[in-house]
Structure 1
Amino acid sequence: MLLVYTHKITPRLNYIFKHIFVRILQIPVSFTTKVEEFVVHNGPKITYAKSPLGSEFFIRSNDILFEQGINDIDIKVLNWDEVPCFFPAGEFSSIPFDIFAASFYLISRYEEYLPHVRDIHERFPFNESIAFKNGFLEKPVVDIWAFKFLETLKEKFPNYTYKEREFTMISTIDVDIAFSYKNKGILRTFGGFFKDFVQFRFVNIWYRLLTILNLKKDPYNTFSEILKIKKELKLTTLFFFLVGDYTTFDKNISSSNNKYRSLVKSVADYAKIGLHPSYYSHKDAALLKKEKLRLENIINTPVTFSRQHYLRLNIPETYQNLIDLDFEEDYTMGYARTVGFRASTCTPFYFYDLDFEIQTPLKLYAFAFMDGTLKDHLKLTNEESLAKILALKDEVKKVNGTFISLFHNNSLSENDEWKGWSTIYKQMLS
């Protein structure tokens, strides 16, 4: 057990110290404000305050963990060796930066509470983030800082037994549109034929006809292949199904369609199913509840995790709504228009609500990239996309973190638009 002496134990301090020590470094930690208790402790111990008590392991604290509410903080990013960091701790500190304050700023998404201009889908833009502006968005710096800190800690306490966590992968599949041609209803089917005709996509007309006549498999029906890979690799694979009503941005099959319900049930027999809340649900608790109940009615099991459609995330409101409806996990933390680590960590963490200054029970899983981001927004070739994916995976492996990918069932369809992407998926997992 590592003991931390500080002049005041706050919810922020307790939250971020436990994230770094317990979840990243696998070190149990406790706190004290009593000097005599700190002095007699025989195990590893550190002081987190403005000044040291003596010659102990000391980190000079920034004020952010002892404050409440949101302030406009002036941040200057410097280098710790070759790793970007901020909140310098001064020459008497055992490490040059207050990584706990810096980690709290990034993981709490403090900057997303500050005034900013949202994008067309009301999302926090990646280019507004401190990580993008300072070139460390593609590195899980919170985890990197933690392990650099651990090196110094081991020098001070070499006899303590340190554990190592294992690298893990989670494959997540968003099901925005379950079928390309089938089960669309008469109006949408004829509309599809008409659109293909006026755009001279005669091959599509032929494929659409063969699929509707059950002479060809629907190209978006890649679920059996994904489940086969899951079984072969013993891989954690999560599916997020959209069951919202049809809108401009929500174009899946109706949740009352028997074929669609059958598909969801069959996937649920082999993998965990989460909710993909519809476009307009991110600030609408009633709509979110309606869709949660709808999916639970299909799979006859409580739905406990989610990822917002279009990655629409309004912090803290979206998370507060999820908590109120007993969701336990959310996988929305990431950017639609670029890759990288939105919260600068590859370790799942609990949402800290800055409105109420509490750690909530909602666990957040940040993904590293989305398939469409690489192809459509960054305009990368297949080779460049795979290289970028493997580079991100390598960053996570260096710190034995959790590498989370975001694919869609249609991106593995091997149709013209996604030719070669099933191979990319397999190579990523190998």
Structure 2
Amino acid sequence: MLLVYTHKISPRLKYVFKHICIRVLGIQVEFTTKIEAFIAHDSLKMSYTKQQLGSEFFIKSHDILFEQGLSDVEINVQNWENTKGFFFNGDKSAMPFDIFASAFYLLSRYEEYLPHVKDDYGRFLATESLGYKHGFLHQPVVDIWAYKFKEALQGHFPDFEFPARTYSIRPIIDVPSAYLYKLKGILRSLGGFIKDIFTLKFKRVYMRFMVVSGLKHDPHDTFKYLINKQKQTPYKFVFFFLIGAFSTYDKGINVNKKKFVSLIKHVADYCKVGLKTSYFSIEDISILKKEKLQMENIINMSLCSSRQSFSKLNLPESYRNLIELEVKEDYTMGYVNHIGFRAGSCTPFLFYDLDYEVQTPLKVCSYHLMDYTLLKTKSLLDKKQILNGLIREIKQVNGEFVPVFHNYTFSTDTRWKGFKDLFNMILESAND
């Protein structure tokens, strides 16, 4: 156990130390404000305060962990060996940067509460982030800092044995619509035929007719392939089905269709199933509650996981709604158009509510790659290089890789050519 001496045990301090020590490094941590208790402790210990007590392992503290609410924090990002650091704390500290204050800033999504430019969907842009602006978005810096902290501690306590953790994967399959043509209803199918004819898409007219009449397989029905892939790996895929009402933004299958319900139940026999919340439920908890209950009735168990439509988050309201409805995990934290680590970590973390200054029970499982981002890269070889680079970053800290693919990514559509190979690379990366 690591004992931390500090002048004040604040909620922020407890939150970030527990993430780094327990979740990343696997060691227990306790806190004290009493020098006598600190001196008496005969195992791992450190002081985290403004002044060093003596010759102990000491990291000089930044004020952010002892504040409440938001303030105009000055951030000066600097190079630090193979990565970046901020909140420089001088020469007397065992580490040149206050990694706990820095990690809190990123994990709490402090910057998303500050004024920023949003995209057309009201989302926080990757280009607005500290990570993008200072060139460390591609690194899980919180985990890298944690391992630097571990190395520094080992230098001070060479006899202490740290537990090892291993690299893992958690593939996400996003299902905004289970089928391209099937189960769309008479009016939607007729409207699709008319639109395809007027836009001279005669191949789609033919394909739609063949699928609707039951003569061909629906192009987006890739579930048999995915279930077979699941059987080949011990890492559970998490499917997120959209079951919300048809709208301008959401064009899924009607949840009253028995064949759609049967599909969800079938997938749930092999994989984990969560709720892809509809666009309008993001700001309306009554719609969210209705969708949650519908999904629970389908899978016959409490809903554990959610993923917001269009990867849209309104902090802290989006997460407060999930907490109120007792959803345990969320997979929305990430960027649709950029690869990298939105919260600076490849370790799931608990959401910290900056308004209430409290650690919540909601586990945030941030994703690091969405299939769409790889469409910008033309050649399959370049896509593989990018993917390998990302996997290498996560493996260096034995983290958890969370990629987001869609059911239609595994179709025969030419734009997704080679994506099955990329998915296989991810699955095989856990065996290397």
TM-score computed with the length of structure 1 as normaliser: 0.98
Deviation at 1:27, TM superposition (A): 1.3
Is the counterpart of residue 29 in structure 1 residue 29 in structure 2? yes
Deviation at 1:233, TM superposition (A): 1.6
1:350-400: per-residue Cα shift (whole Å, max 9, x none)? 00000100000000001111011221xx35443322322221111101100
Q: Is the 8 A contact 1:277 1:308 kept in 2?
A: yes
Deviation at 1:336, TM superposition (A): 1.2
Is the counterpart of residue 111 in structure 1 residue 103 in structure 2? no
* Unpaired segments ≥5 residues, structure 2: none
Q: Is the 8 A contact 1:169 1:404 kept in 2?
A: yes
Q: Is the 8 A contact 1:131 1:137 kept in 2?
A: yes
Deviation at 1:2, TM superposition (A): 1.1
User: What amino acid is the match of 2:196?
Assistant: D
* Unpaired segments ≥5 residues, structure 1: none
Matching of residues 321-400 of structure 1 within 5 Å:
321-375=321-375, 378-400=376-398
Is the counterpart of residue 296 in structure 1 residue 290 in structure 2? no
Q: Is the 8 A contact 1:414 1:420 kept in 2?
A: no
The Cα RMSD (Å) is 1.1
Q: Is the 8 A contact 1:414 1:422 kept in 2?
A: no
User: What amino acid is the match of 1:389?
Assistant: L
Residues matched between the structures, number:
428
Q: Is the 8 A contact 1:281 1:288 kept in 2?
A: yes
SS in 2 for 1:253: coil
TM-score computed with the length of structure 2 as normaliser: 0.97
User: What amino acid is the match of 2:118?
Assistant: R
SS in 2 for 1:417: helix
CA distance in 2, matches of 1:113, 1:236: 33
CA distance in 2, matches of 1:182, 1:387: 36
SS in 1 for 2:290: helix
Partner residue of 1:425?
423
Going from structure 1 to structure 2, the CA distance change for 1:343 and 1:380 (only over 3 Å counts) comes to: farther
Q: Is the 8 A contact 2:289 2:325 kept in 1?
A: yes
CA distance in 2, matches of 1:387, 1:76: 31
User: What amino acid is the match of 1:362?
Assistant: L
CA distance in 2, matches of 1:132, 1:189: 43
Partner residue of 2:287?
287
CA distance in 2, matches of 1:76, 1:32: 30
Q: Which ranges of 4 or more aligned residues in structure 1 deviate by more than 6 Å? A: none
SS in 2 for 1:93: coil
CA distance in 2, matches of 1:221, 1:370: 20
- Of all paired residues, the percent bearing the same amino acid is 50
Q: Is the 8 A contact 1:227 1:270 kept in 2?
A: yes
Q: Is the 8 A contact 1:11 1:359 kept in 2?
A: yes
CA distance in 2, matches of 1:346, 1:266: 30
1:249-304: per-residue Cα shift (whole Å, max 9, x none)? 10001111111111111111111110100011212111110111111122222112
Deviation at 1:151, TM superposition (A): 1.1
SS in 1 for 2:401: strand
SS in 1 for 2:237: strand
CA distance in 2, matches of 1:179, 1:285: 27
Deviation at 1:416, TM superposition (A): 2.5
SS in 2 for 1:239: strand
CA distance in 2, matches of 1:171, 1:409: 12
CA distance in 1, matches of 2:184, 2:425: 33
CA distance in 1, matches of 2:304, 2:101: 31
User: What amino acid is the match of 1:360?
Assistant: T
Mean CA deviation greater in 230-239 or 129-138: 230-239
1:305-359: per-residue Cα shift (whole Å, max 9, x none)? 1000100100100000000000000000101121110000000000000010000
Partner residue of 1:224?
224
Partner residue of 2:266?
266
Partner residue of 2:405?
407
CA distance in 2, matches of 1:235, 1:38: 42
SS in 1 for 2:169: strand
